Amino acid sequence: MAHSNLLPEPAPIPDANAVPVVEFSHVSIGFDGKQVLRDISFTARQGETRILLGPASCGKSVLLKLANGLMRPDSGKIYVFGEEVSALPQSDLFRLREKIGMVFQESALFDSLTVRENVAYRLREAHAEDATVEARVQEVLRFVELEHTLDKFPSQLSGGMRRRVAIARAIITHPELLLYDSPTGGLDPITSATIIDLIVKQRDVYGGTSLLVTHRLQDAYMLATHTFNRETNQMQRIPNSGLDFSTTFLVLNNTSVVFDGTLQELQHAEDPFLKEFLS
């Protein structure tokens, strides 16, 4: 990786006129007679990191699965890269997913495959050459600082290491859209910070658009207030209490979107639920 710009620099503000990478339009879905999401509308533009906050079981993970076409909404439309995911046939969905990486809540690594085989899975399916596969696997495992785990099985790794392998598996093809489903869920604070560090690094080094689900406010704040310093190879706070303008928030509560905006706007929101949620 060539790093010409060594100073931390917040990502540029996404172009408001560009076609959104992800667009939800009046999406609703329910299971077993229970409404999970109701009339959800939002967009994520090129280069934007959208953090989906909300209390547990408010449909955040369902929203990510809808964006990836793993579920279909009961009503409403979902567009990803301008294509209507909610109406695409399965064969076209598999083609579209080549541009999407997803990190699952519990990592969802293939437990009968080694770390190397897990990370290389996508390239193997695309019949990439052995040398290319090996080089890319080494590169992404170095990125997540797990190059020593190549021949281990997921069961031999800690929870945090499994998440890092899941991130490596998701980014191996440098997808244009990344979906993170509670990447720090169930992890201790130190390991969580390592994962957030990696997500910031991914955002600031590779770019692309991300949707990140979390119920941990501290992770969300860290993503909005930190940048990756390529010189020190570490995440650091944006100087002068600055914010990463490409990182914006969406708060869900009781099946609906209750907030859509920047961290500053979120901190000054008057909504009683938001005040209680942030406190």
Partner 1 sequence: MEIGEILREKILRVQEYVLLSVEAMANLFRRPLYWGDICTQADIIGVGSLPIVILTGFFTGGVLALQSSSTLSEFGAKSITGQLVSLSMIRELGPVLTGLMVSGRNASGMASELGSMQVTEQIDAMRALGTDPIKKLVTPRLIATVVMLFFLTIVSDTVGTLGGGMVGTTMMNLDASQYFHTSYQALAYPDVLQGLIKPLFFGLIIATVGCYYGMSTKGGTRGVGHATTQAVVTSSVLIIAVDFIISRLMLGIFGG
Q: Point out which residues bind partner 1 (CB under 8 A).
A: 65, 68, 70, 90, 94-95, 97-98, 100, 102, 104-106, 108-111, 121-122, 125, 169
Minimum distance, C-beta of residue 162 to partner 1, in the bound complex (Å): 11
CB closer to partner 1 out of 125 and 130: 125
Minimum distance, C-beta of residue 110 to partner 1, in the bound complex (Å): 6
* Sign of the alpha-carbon torsion through 130, 136, 141, 147: positive
CB closer to partner 1 out of 66 and 263: 66
Minimum distance, C-beta of residue 100 to partner 1, in the bound complex (Å): 7
Alpha-helical regions (H) of the chain: 60-67, 90-96, 115-125, 130-143, 159-171, 189-205, 217-225, 263-267, 272-278
CB closer to partner 1 out of 68 and 194: 68
User: Phi then psi for 9, rounded to 5 degrees?
Assistant: -145, 125
CB closer to partner 1 out of 89 and 272: 89
CB closer to partner 1 out of 104 and 249: 104
User: Is the separation of the CB atoms in 215 and 54 below 8 Å?
Assistant: yes
Structure-derived torsion over alpha carbons of residues 59, 107, 120, 144, reported in degrees to the nearest 10: 110
Joined tokens for residue 232 = 């020190």
What single-letter amino acid sits at 242?
G
CB closer to partner 1 out of 114 and 262: 114
Minimum distance, C-beta of residue 161 to partner 1, in the bound complex (Å): 16
Minimum distance, C-beta of residue 60 to partner 1, in the bound complex (Å): 15
Minimum distance, C-beta of residue 102 to partner 1, in the bound complex (Å): 4
What is the SS3 assignment for 49? strand
User: Is the separation of the CB atoms in 235 and 228 below 8 Å?
Assistant: yes
Q: Of 23, 17, 114, which is closest to residue 66 (Cα–Cα)?
A: 23
